[in-house]
Amino acid sequence: MLSRIQSAPGFIAALDQSGGSTPRALEVYGIRRDVYPDETTMFALIHEMRVRIMTSPSFGNGKIIGAILFDRTAEGAVHGQPVPAFLRERDIVPFLKIDKGLEDQADGVQLMRSIPDLDRVLHNARSAGMAGTKARSLIHAPSPSGIRAVVAQQFMLAKRIMDRGLVPIIEPEVHLESEDRERCDAILTRELATQLDMLSEDRQVILKLSLPVHPNLYEDLIDHPRTARVAALSGGHSRKQACAELARNSGMIASFSRALLQDLRSTMSDAEFDRTLGAAIEQIYRASTEKVANAIET
């Protein structure tokens, strides 16, 4: 699974909207908040949406090499089969979102909340056939001390994950509306390089980063021997804009969520749903591999 993530052409789908972002994801899909009476129904609806995505023929066409899952999705089933096993049969490497959300903003950043049951979470992830995990932090301002704290926390967690034989996806997102994204990008790049240099030779991580203000800023991170892959998050960009930005960054692949799913609707026929998803996958794939920004637009 690690070999596929390291070198296969394609991108990583992010299907990991959690409690806070699920209502918005369902609204985009065409299901209003007043349709479901409680959280249990809400999560059942989002699982149905994700099953429809994962079972769509275009999702298994080889262009998606990995998928990040919310824990309820990972614990669910696709036609009676556990989701991680279903994805692996399609040659899609499964990752589990493990962070518990963010602390309040301080020193220009939001650190991750603690994960008190981390050992159990990692044990269960490994037992379920997960290849790795994903955890997200958020950077708002170019604070050297704040960004250093974000990266240090991410790598401290990553080392515990690697000790369990899993591959961590490290996601220190730079907020798209930060007033000085350029400086945030530069500070973050330096801190990531410092932490990568300190990893032992037998360890690798995946970096999931915001699309940089200056193209190819992450070139040294991509080439670093401790980096398995560098993926881009869409961070609020439309798919058209995210693909245009991604195509300007050599060696970087996508790990999009909203930009991947933005045109899907619950009322679509199965054929229309698959056509729409397939067009999005093709556009993101070409931006990730051939560096073509707008191969197909829907």
Would you please indicate which residues are annotated as catalytic (active-site) residues?
A: 171, 208
207 φ/ψ angles, rounded to the nearest 5 degrees: -105, 130
217 φ/ψ angles, rounded to the nearest 5 degrees: -60, -30
Sign for the pseudo-dihedral over CA of 88, 173, 207, 165: negative
Q: Is 219 exposed, middle or buried (0-12, 13-18, 19+ CB in 10 A)?
A: middle
Q: What is the CA radius of gyration of the chain?
A: 18
Q: How far apart are CA 132 and CA 205, in angstroms?
A: 10
Q: How far apart are CA 211 and CA 256, in angstroms?
A: 11
Question: 174: how many CB neighbours lie within 10 A of its CB?
Answer: 28
What's the token pair of residue 52? Answer: 């429809």
Q: Is 91 exposed, middle or buried (0-12, 13-18, 19+ CB in 10 A)?
A: middle
Measured CA distances, 208 to 37, 116, 276 (Å)? 35, 24, 25
Q: Where are the beta strands (DSSP E) in 184-295?
A: 205-210, 227-233, 253-254
Question: 222: how many CB neighbours lie within 10 A of its CB?
Answer: 16
Tell the residue number behind the tokens 């999560």, with chain if given.
43
